[in-house]
Amino acid sequence: MLGAASPFRRLSGVVRPAIPRGFVAGRFVRGVSTEVPAMPHCDFHPSSFQGPSLENDLEFRRQHQIPNMMTTAYYKKPVRVHQGHMQWLWDTEGNRYLDMFGGIVTVSVGHCHPKVVQAAKDQLDRLWHTTHIYIQPTLKEYTEKLLAKMPGDLKVCFLVNSGSEANDLAMFMSRVHTGAFDIVGFRNAFHGMSPYVMGLTALSTWRHRLPSAFGIHHTVNPDPYRGPWGGKACRDSSIQTTRKCTCQEGECQAEDKYVEQVEDLFRYSIAKGNLAAFFAESIQGVGGTVQYPKNFIKRVYELVKNHGGLFVSDEVQTGFGRTGDHFWGFRGHGITPDIVTMAKGIGNGFPLAAVVTTKEIAASVGKAAYFNTFGGNPVACAVGSAVLDVIKDENTQARCYGVGAHFLSELAKLREEFPENVGDVRGKGLMIGVEMVEDKESRTPLKPERMMALFEDIKDMGVLLGLGGLHKNVFRIKPPMCISKEDANFAVQVMRVALSRMK
């Protein structure tokens, strides 16, 4: 039931956020009505919550759980989630939210999707765990289904439990196979938080004061909006930056400049024959949904191969059809990498991740013992298999393409309506970012207090977004892939109202 202090009210069977104190329905600010839009209808009815207070939970977390977990950093009043159904979440007070962040780009086919839930229940009734020392059919069934989605010689699968673990294994694998040590990635990239991959992650907010980057190099981030070079037609996206350039048709000077930076790094910082691997997200996630110039990755791939290294594609956030036009993000760059890492959406929130590579590279790992206790767990395999079935049966990749294109075009209207603060809109499919700035010309990141007030207001109207970028001034929009155009329209209108009354 709805709590007495709830910021929402129920009208005609639809949970609608109430107008926050100080605002009057029907008032216009900047020509935009501040009336909170009605949420799209939902037939699902959550159970009521019976348990301790939010204050009790917060105090326990402060005393006994991991510190600095961003719960209070995200919102003044944290959201305590009680139940989920597809694209919807309910808190313990009964308030409904449209989840536009998908558990940090993890809920791929929908919260508690009935087919995925049933697959987990059925497997739990049969077998929970054995490890790899025994043969169990669920492991074979799942890996066969997953590998059928991979191009070329990518035919060997290592199952692990998280994206950090997958990238950790890929780093180890590339060094063992090549006999080289140096690994290169991008500034602004995020590849995980284990001690090994923390060195590859190049966002200072995620780095601890530990010696973790030995043998790792970072090249300039090829960001057409915020980077040193950019232009009006750099990205493989329906929405481009507003930066001006002098490029002719079929030319991208920014791309050339960023490729030169990689060439310089190889020339000056990598000993001959010592390049083990180059890591790249197909679209940067935590870094703020950054897209590179169109042909940049393909050209870097060729440079890496010429220097004897392996190319590793981090598909932890961009895989499983999220970008819309391809099942894997790297396909949009016209390459087939040597190693692919994946996690998050692979299990729709269940702990599951994978590293897929060639037989030759996989054989290098077999030179010494390698074992993962929980990788390939029967329940994880059953869940992963069900996720692949749902993606196919419900055509979620096509939904990402269609709904994503519509979403981007509607968000681009906000950039036109609020040009002083909405700096950039970018992305593909349902991998979307909206960068907020203090002014259009300088592209100075929106001040933290203004960004968080905007973020809070959007939440209070029933939409959950993520934050990204070094300055946390990018709204990360990566919802469950089951959302509709109606959901997208609602989210955009909520953002419009919040922007109209931003101080």
How many whole angstroms separate alpha carbon 164 and alpha carbon 171? 11
Q: 92-115: per-residue pLDDT in tens?
A: 999 999 999 999 999 999 999 999
Closest CA to 127 of 378, 373, 375, 374: 378
The pTM assigned to this predicted structure is 0.91
For 345, which DSSP code? G
Residue 183 in this model has a pLDDT that exceeds 50: yes
pLDDT at 19 over 70: no
- How many CB atoms sit inside 10 A of residue 152's CB? 10
CA 50, 56, 61, 63: dihedral to nearest 10 degrees? -150
Going by C-alpha positions, the residue among 174, 145, 140, 162 that lies closest to residue 313 is 174
CA dist 70 and 455 (Å) reads 14
Spatial distance between the Cα atoms of 501 and 499, rounded to a whole number of angstroms: 5
* Nearest-angstrom CA–CA distance, 325 and 314: 17
Q: What's the confidence (pLDDT) of residue 5?
A: 36
Domains of the chain, residue spans = 8-100+396-500, 113-162+343-393, 182-332
Lowest mean pLDDT among 21-25, 184-188, 307-311, 442-446: 21-25
Share the mean pLDDT of the chain.
Answer: 91
- List CB contacts of 461: < 8 A, sequence separation 6 or more: 17, 36, 37, 494, 497, 498
What pLDDT, in 10s, does the model give residues 315-324?
Answer: 999 999 999 9
Q: Which amino acid is at 346?
A: I
Average confidence (pLDDT) over 443-463: 96
Q: Which segments of 96-220 does DSSP mark as H helices, in order?
A: 102-105, 114-126, 137-147, 163-178
Residue 271 has pLDDT above 90, yes or no: yes
Domains 113-162+343-393 and 182-332 alike in fold: yes
23 pLDDT above the threshold of 70 = no
pLDDT for 6 equals 39
pLDDT of the residue at 212: 81
Given a cut of 70, whether residue 167 has pLDDT beyond it is: yes
Q: Per-residue pLDDT averaged across 50-73, rounded?
A: 71
pLDDT digits (tens, 9 = 90+) for 357-415: 999 999 999 888 788 889 999 999 999 999 999 999 999 999 999 999 999 999 999 99
Phi, psi (degrees; rounded to nearest 5) at 81? -80, 135
- Distance between CA 272 and CA 308 in Å, rounded? 9
pLDDT grade for 58, boundaries at 50, 70 and 90: confident
Q: Please provide the size of the chain in residues.
A: 503
User: Considering the domain 182-332 in this protein, what is its CATH number?
Assistant: 3.40.640.10
Return the DSSP state at 25: T
pLDDT at 68: 60
With a cut of 80, say whether residue 334 has pLDDT above it: yes
Across 64-69, average pLDDT: 66
The CATH number of the structural domain formed by 8-100+396-500 is 3.90.1150.10
State in words which class domain 113-162+343-393 has: alpha beta
How far apart are alpha carbons 223 and 284 in whole angstroms? 10
